[in-house]
Chains A and B, each alone.
Chain A
């Protein structure tokens, strides 16, 4: 299957600073990327959907000014958590899929554990 690489796998940052997480599709062109957030022992909650070259579509309740998403190329999307606070500590997972009516699968990165201290 296709490979999605997410970096870093874990990061610790001080409260008030910003953190950038990268999501790369290594062997296919990802026209759409999804960013999820997962709290301990909970499911994945979709934060936003981004299409290459377009502004991301955020789910209800997700602050677009706090979670900046950029999808400038067909192989890279980034999530920047701005002015991070301890409550932003979570596991963030990206997912990518290519275009086409026959495409029925998205591929997931290995996740990023963010801890804000």
Chain B
């Protein structure tokens, strides 16, 4: 079955430290990959997406993610965490432009002062 796995339901880092949120997908065919951020009681905001082309994708707020086909991964990183980055992050996949979006279980990012 097609799925997406986020390792770690909760990640806590210090302000200024590296942020690494992990995402793996299960598919023999590379899907379209997304990272979304959700603040409390709000909808989803797209951080970045991978469709084709360059495997290192840069998004908003200093985030980036690298598509690694050999590892079926799409981990999200940010070199230096800011307090405003505290939120819930969802990795998602879409297997064709006509298909639905499947979400991972989410990772709550906390930032320590």
Interface residues of A (CB under 8 A from B): 1, 6, 34, 36, 41-44, 46, 49, 91, 93, 95, 100-106, 108-111, 113
Per-position binary interface string of chain B over residues 20-56, scored 1 when its CB falls under 8 Å from any chain A CB and 0 otherwise: 0000000000001010100001111110010100000
Known A104-B94, A104-B97: A6·B102 in contact at CB below 8 Å: no
> Interface size bucket, B side?
20 to 34
Is B97 a contact of A49 with CB atoms below 8 Å?
no
Known A42-B106, A104-B32, A111-B41: A95·B46 in contact at CB below 8 Å: no
CA distance A42 to B103 in the complex (A): 11
CA distance A46 to B109 in the complex (A): 23
Q: Which residue on B lies nearest to A10, using beta carbons?
A: B41
Which residues of chain B have C-beta atoms less than 8 A from A109's C-beta?
43
Question: From DSSP, what is the main secondary structure of chain A's interface residues?
Answer: loop
Which residues of chain A have C-beta atoms less than 8 A from B101's C-beta?
34, 46, 95, 106
Closest 10 CB pairs of A and B: A110-B43, A108-B44, A108-B43, A111-B43, A104-B51, A44-B103, A43-B105, A43-B106, A104-B32, A43-B103
Taking the closest CB of chain B, its distance from the CB of A117, in whole angstroms, is: 18
Taking the closest CB of chain A, its distance from the CB of B59, in whole angstroms, is: 12
CA distance A6 to B42 in the complex (A): 11
Which residues of chain A have C-beta atoms less than 8 A from B67's C-beta?
none
